[in-house]
Amino acid sequence: MSISNLGLSLLVITMNLCIYSIIGSIIGIRLGNSQIKISAKNAAYCTFFTTLISSMCLVYAFVTNDFSIKYVFMHSNLSMDPAYTWVAMYAGNEGSLLYIALVISLSILLVLLFKPKDMYESEPHLIAIMSGFLLFFIGVMVFFANPFDTFQTNIPTDGRGMNPLLAHPGMFSHPPLLMAGLATISIPFSLITSMILTGTFRNNGLDFVRTTSLIVWSILGVGLLLGSWWAYTILGWGGYWVWDPIENVGLMPWLVMTAFIHSIIVQRRRGMFRVWNVLLIFLAFVLAQFGMFINRGGPVVSVHSFAASTLGYIFLGFMVFSALFCSLIFIANYNKIYSDNKIESVISREAAFLINNFFLLAITFVTLWGLIFPLINEVFYNETVTVGAPYYNAVNGPVILLLLFIMGIGPNLSWKGTSNSNLKTNLLYPSLIAIITFTFFFLSSNKPFMSSLALSSIALVLSTIIFEWFRGSRSLIKNGTHWLYAFFKLISNNRKKYGGYIVHISILLVALGVVGINFYQVKIDKVVSVGERIEIGNYKIEIAEISENNFNDRREKVATFLILDSNENIINTLEGNNTFYPTFNMASIRAGILSSPIEDLYIIPSDFIDNDTMKLIISINPLVWWMWLGGPIFILGTLISLWPRNFNKS
Amino acid sequence: MNLFILILITIACVVFLIFPFYRKKEYRKDNNQAYAEIRKKKVLLELTSELENGTISKDQFNELKEELFKIESIKISSNNEETDPIEEIIKLKKNQDV
């Protein structure tokens, strides 16, 4: 038996396990039979191991260059860096579906293992829903997109190779995290749906829903940020964020999940927003399926569509099914989830959360409209329209600013209502700092009004967080605690809140980078020859050398630049390259980047005219370094927020 | 070798699926009250922290605390309403015996 037969057989076994798990759970629920329920649960456990071994078969085929498998032939070749053979599994449609199935099966295993015990009532429903979701992906692979399909005759001796744009260190982190993030939105979705179906969507299990949502949200967030970093270093993706359709379909569920993880706090604290939370999680799930559809054969053209296929209609069908399923569950159970509690004051924490939710949804719908508008135009008016970055920046920009503003105000408000004295005490200094920041930047630079507004909003949020930390630590210091211990004690006492604030700081750092690159960037285009010098900002750039390297699958032209400071001292040597892949008729351009907290010197060898001459795009991108620092801080904040507390001991 | 792996996995799955029918075990039901207490403790600690750093006043702390206790008690009573019909029959029988 070949490795391809083993891999496919295991997929068929997984499919049967899913069917058994679904039917077993339903029968178990109907008959109230514990044995059937446990057996169905065991089937759900088994799906992980069968999917894992099936995935290992595909990785093994890549590592051993088994070109008898069509998928391996399409996405690998002998001259590829061996490190990439371990991850080439998700370089195309079929393999990435297998990867998604593996992630879902792992989610099922982990959710069933770590789910709190007071959620036993909804467990069979949860198993049925999650197994149903897994069944869809396994079914697509078994019937339409088999990753183990083989050549019957004329087995090739070498492969076509992986999409050149994917040959980047980012391949090890960005695609798996983004796909995992989109797939695992099914976890909070399934948890909430199962709780609704069993009438237990109250406080039990809510912490677990929040925990899983935070994990999913952070995976998706880190995946998006890593994608930005990847796109920043390789020109083929179009820049760190260009509002490309595939970028947008990853962003939209993340925005909705951001709204959800905020509003679930209100439900946990005050028993409010139950209907709203259900709507949000359903929307996030449907948008994740929309993302799958756009990414896999959807009608929108994107530079990121490396997993494109002809299966778009299947994913469209699943998305429509998901939307109908959600609507049905919502309508049928509306009375069970409706909450009587109302917002008592507009100047309250819960109102701030709701406003934050509206802004996040506004950005989501603006993005969605920009994505579907060209399709609508083409279908109804037969006109080709492109919606690009100017639309998104013009419409989303002000809403993002308002969102930043509410991020600064919200934490100063109290639950149920805020007294005037509290408002004055908590908001006075942050507001003053914001006003001073705005005045300084508005008067001292000739940049647009929006840039000063953005920087003052960042100052408002940051000072709000710092002052709250200060107030909290001060109250502990009064009791005789050392200030450093008091600071850590404060965070430890309310990890969810202060972990959240650290995440807010990471968002501010990303915003700082965006403001820097959008409003303060300096850019020049020039045709230069070896030996020539260019001046930009405080840098002098000397073109030291242009070399050419030929490989089996690519021709690589490398430009070496000497970077000198104003005193003619060499401070660094940078390389940028332009690599052409004849098989794909595609070029991949890698920028030379000298990064510092103040600014990035960014050199793109966009075109090599002859052996000595090339066209360069050079820019100084201020504050981008902080954007990438936002990633680790984002993870740190999420981890603090998730860190469990042992109440049996305390 | 691959065939052996496939057979082994198939047998393992089948055994794992039929195992619950041989080793009869009831579906686990835990004490929800204990979990409600842990949840209350968690939220109370957060509220105390907010009281300490002045985000909420003493009155708001008390109001929110009361609200929290109310929410958790709603859960418990709703659980009682949604008891298993078989359990209800057993309860009814017990009451009749008394």
Question: Per the structure block, which two tokens stand in for A219?
Answer: 């995976």
Put simply, whether A150 touches B (Cβ < 8 Å) is: no
pLDDT confidence tier of residue B90, bands split at 50, 70 and 90:
low
Give a yes or no: residue A220 inside a domain: no
3-state SS of chain B is: CHHHHHHHHHHHHHHHHHHHHHCCCCCCCCCHHHHHHHHHHHHHHHHHHHHHCCCCCHHHHHHHHHHHHHHHHHHHHHHHHCCCHHHHHHHHHHHHHC
Question: A468 and B20: CB-CB below 8 Å?
Answer: no
Do residue A449 and residue A593 come from a single domain? no
Q: What is the CA radius of gyration of chain B?
A: 24
Q: Long-range contact list for A568-575, CB < 8 A, 24+ apart?
A: A568/A540, A573/A544, A574/A601, A574/A603
d(CA A374, CA A382): 10
Domain check: are A464 and A602 in the same one? no
Contact check, Cβ <8 Å, A493/B49: yes
Please state, for a pLDDT cut of 90, what percent of chain A lies above it. Answer: 53
CB contact under 8 A, B55 and A425: no
Residue of A nearest to B34 (CA): A118
Residue A151 has pLDDT above 80, yes or no: yes
**DSSP classification of residue A69:** B
Q: Whole-number mean pLDDT of chain A? A: 89
Last residue of a domain, one of A499, A519, A539: A519
Kind of pairing between the strands at A539-550 and A555-564: antiparallel
CB–CB of A202 and B71 under 8 A?
yes
* Average pLDDT, integer, range B65-73: 75
Which residue among A128, A162, A196 closes a domain? A162
| Nearest Cα to Cα of residue A222 among A635, A639, A638 | A635
Mutation site, B37, B49, B63, interface A, largest A CB count within 10 A: B49
Residue A615, beta-bridge partner list: A527, A607
Stretch 602-641 of chain A: residues touching chain B, C-beta under 8 Å: none
Angle of CA points A512, A518, A519, to nearest 5°: 90
**Which range is least confidently modeled, A163-167, A537-541, B86-90?**
B86-90
- Same-domain check for residues A514 and A605: no
CA–CA dist A66, A58 (Å, integer): 9
From chain A residues 106-125, the ones with a CB under 8 A of any chain B CB are 116-118, 120-121
Looking at residue B60, its pLDDT comes to 78
Q: Would you say residue A406 lies in a domain?
A: no
Residue with the larger pLDDT of the pair A27 and A376: A27
Closest in B20, B64, B78 to A38, CB measured: B20
Over range A604-625, report the average pLDDT: 88
Could you say which of A5, A35, A268 has the minimum Cβ distance to residue B24? A35
- What kind and span of H or E run contains A19? helix A3-31
Instruction: Compute the half-sphere exposure of residue A575: CA atoms within 13 Å on the CB side of its CA.
Output: 10
Is residue A460 domain-shared with residue A532, that is, in the same domain?
Answer: no
* B17 to A39: CB separation less than 8 angstroms, yes or no: yes
For A547-599, how does the pLDDT look when each residue is reduced to its tens digit (9 = 90+)?
988 887 788 899 999 999 888 888 999 998 888 888 888 888 888 999 999 99
Both structure tokens of A120: 């036993």
Would you state the pLDDT for residue A305? 61
- pLDDT (tens digit, 9 = 90+) per residue, A467-518? 988 888 887 787 777 888 888 888 888 888 899 999 999 999 999 999 999 8
Would you call A13 and B10 a contact, using CB atoms and an 8 Å cutoff? yes
Least CB–CB distance from A32: residue in B5, B17, B84 = B84
| A537 interface with B at CB cutoff 8 Å | no
Interface test mutation site (partner A, options B55, B64, B65, max chain A beta carbons within 10 A): B55
Task: Note whether A550 and A585 are same-domain residues.
Answer: yes
Quick one: what percent of chain A has pLDDT higher than 70?
96
Distance in angstroms (rounded) separating the CA atoms of residues A72 and A311: 19
Q: How far is A360 from A279, CA to CA, in rounded Å?
A: 14
Residues within 8 A of B (CB atoms), A 251-290 only? 268-271
Q: Do B30 and A645 touch (CB under 8 A)?
A: no
Residues of chain A positioned with their CB less than 8 A from the CB of B67:
270-271
Q: Give the chain A residue whose CA is nearest to the CA of B55.
A: A414
Structural contact between residues A604 and A617, judged by C-beta atoms closer than 8 angstroms: yes
Do A449 and A505 reside in the same domain of the chain?
A: yes
Task: Say yes or no to pLDDT of A418 above 90.
Answer: no
A592-595 vs A586-590, strand pairing mode? unpaired
User: Does the residue A234 lie in any domain?
Assistant: no
Looking at the partner chain, which of B2, B26, B75 has a beta carbon nearest the beta carbon of A2? B2
Domain count within chain A: 3
Instruction: Give the residue, A413 or A285, on which the prediction is more confident.
Output: A285
Please judge whether B30 and A120 are an interchain contact, meaning their C-beta atoms are less than 8 angstroms apart: yes
Distance CA A584, CA A558 (A): 20
Q: Are residues A1 and A130 in the same domain?
A: yes
| pLDDT at position A168 | 83
Distance (Å) of CA A481 to CA A392, A490, A531, B19: 49, 11, 63, 57
10 Å CB burial of residue A377 (0-12, 13-18, 19+) is middle
Of A162, A186, A206, at which residue does a domain stop?
A: A162
pLDDT per residue as tens digits for the range A34-72: 899 999 999 999 999 999 999 999 999 999 999 999 999
Tokens (6 digits) for A349:
């924490």
pLDDT at A648 over 60: no
Is residue A338 domain-resident?
no
The verdict on residue A103 lying in a domain is yes
Whether A35 and B43 lie within 8 Å, measured CB to CB: no
Please count the residue pairs, one from chain A and one from chain B, whose beta carbons lie less than 8 angstroms apart.
150
Using the beta-carbon criterion (under 8 Å), do B74 and A5 form an inter-chain contact? no
Pick from A1, A417, A493: CB nearest B6: A1
> Do the domain assignments include residue A411?
no
> Nearest C-alpha of chain B: how many angstroms from A647?
7
A84 and A146 in a single domain? The answer is: yes
Whether A9 and A134 map to the same domain: the answer is yes
Q: Which residue has the higher pLDDT, A637 or A207?
A: A637
Q: Which of A39, A471, A650 has the CB atom closest to B53's CB atom?
A: A471
Among B13, B48, B52, the residue with its CB nearest the CB of A46 is B13
Find the farthest-apart pair of alpha carbons in chain A and give their distance in angstroms, rounded. Answer: 84
Q: Which residue of A has its CA nearest to B37?
A: A647
Nearest to A203 among B45, B53, B72 (CB): B72
Taking CB atoms and an 8 Å cutoff, what residues of chain A touch B21? 35, 39
How far away is chain B from the Cα of A349, in angstroms, using its nearest Cα? 10
Question: Is residue A613 a part of any domain in this protein?
Answer: yes
Within this chain, do residues A132 and A95 fall inside the same structural domain, yes or no?
Answer: yes
Q: Which residue out of A12, A56, A118, A470 would a mutagenesis test of the B interface target, given it has the greatest number of B Cβ atoms within 10 Å? A: A118
Q: Looking at residues A227-249, what average pLDDT do you find?
A: 81
Question: Among A610, A369, A397, A626, which residue's Cα sits nearest to residue A519?
Answer: A397
Q: CB contact, 8 Å: A492 with chain B?
A: no
Assess contact for A392 and A406: CB atoms under 8 A. Answer: no
**A473: CB partners within 8 A, 6+ apart:** A483, A486, A487, A490
- How close, in Å, is residue B66 to chain A by CA atoms? 10
CB contact under 8 A, B42 and A419: no
Half-sphere exposure of residue A531: CA atoms within 13 angstroms, side-chain side: 2
Q: With contacts defined as CB-CB under 8 Å, which chain A residues touch B86?
A: 32
Q: What mean pLDDT do residues A8-19 have?
A: 96
CB under 8 A, 24+ apart: contacts of A249-252: A249/A287, A249/A290, A249/A291, A249/A294, A249/A295, A249/A371, A250/A178, A250/A181, A250/A182, A250/A220, A250/A223, A250/A224, A250/A291, A251/A224, A251/A367, A252/A287, A252/A290, A252/A291, A252/A364, A252/A367, A252/A368
CA–CA separation, A603 and A589 (whole Å): 11
Mean pLDDT of A169-191: 93
Q: Mutate one of B29, B50, B53 to test the A interface: name it (highest A CB count within 10 A).
A: B53
By three-state DSSP, how is residue A394 classified? helix
Range of the domain at A461: 419-519
Which residues in chain A have their CB less than 8 angstroms from residue B17's CB? 20, 39, 42-43, 46
pLDDT at A240: 82
Does residue B88 carry a pLDDT above 60? no
**Best residue of A56, A340, A415 to probe chain B, by most B CBs closer than 10 Å:** A415
**Domain shared by A1 and A150, yes or no:** yes
Q: Does residue A237 belong to any structural domain of this protein?
A: no
Residue A238 scores a pLDDT above 90 = no
Of the candidates A639, A593, A587, the residue with the CA atom closest to the CA atom of residue A620: A593
* Residue pLDDT, tens place only, A323-349: 999 999 999 998 888 877 788 888 888
Q: Are residues A141 and A7 in the same domain?
A: yes
Structural tokens at position A94: 């079929």
Query: pLDDT band at A206, cuts 50/70/90?
Result: confident
Cross-chain residue pair B57–A37, CB shorter than 8 Å: no
Instruction: Give the H/E segment covering residue A550.
Output: strand A539-550
Q: Do B45 and A39 touch (CB under 8 A)?
A: no
Q: pLDDT tens across B4-60, in order?
A: 899 999 999 999 899 888 876 666 666 667 777 777 787 787 788 777 767 777 887
Residues 55-74 of A with CB under 8 A from B: none
Candidate from A198-212, A222-236, A409-423, B16-30 with smallest mean pLDDT: B16-30
Q: What is the pLDDT of residue B95?
A: 58
Per-residue pLDDT at B81? 44
- pLDDT (average), residues A272-284: 93
Q: Residue B76: name the closest of A12, A118, A215, A21 by CA.
A: A118
Cross-chain residue pair B13–A415, CB shorter than 8 Å: no
Q: What is the ipTM of this complex?
A: 0.74
Q: How many residues are given for chain B?
A: 98
Query: A99-137 burial, b if ≥16 CB within 10 A, otherwise e?
Result: bbbbbbbbbbbebbeebbebbbbbbbbbbbbbbbbbbbb
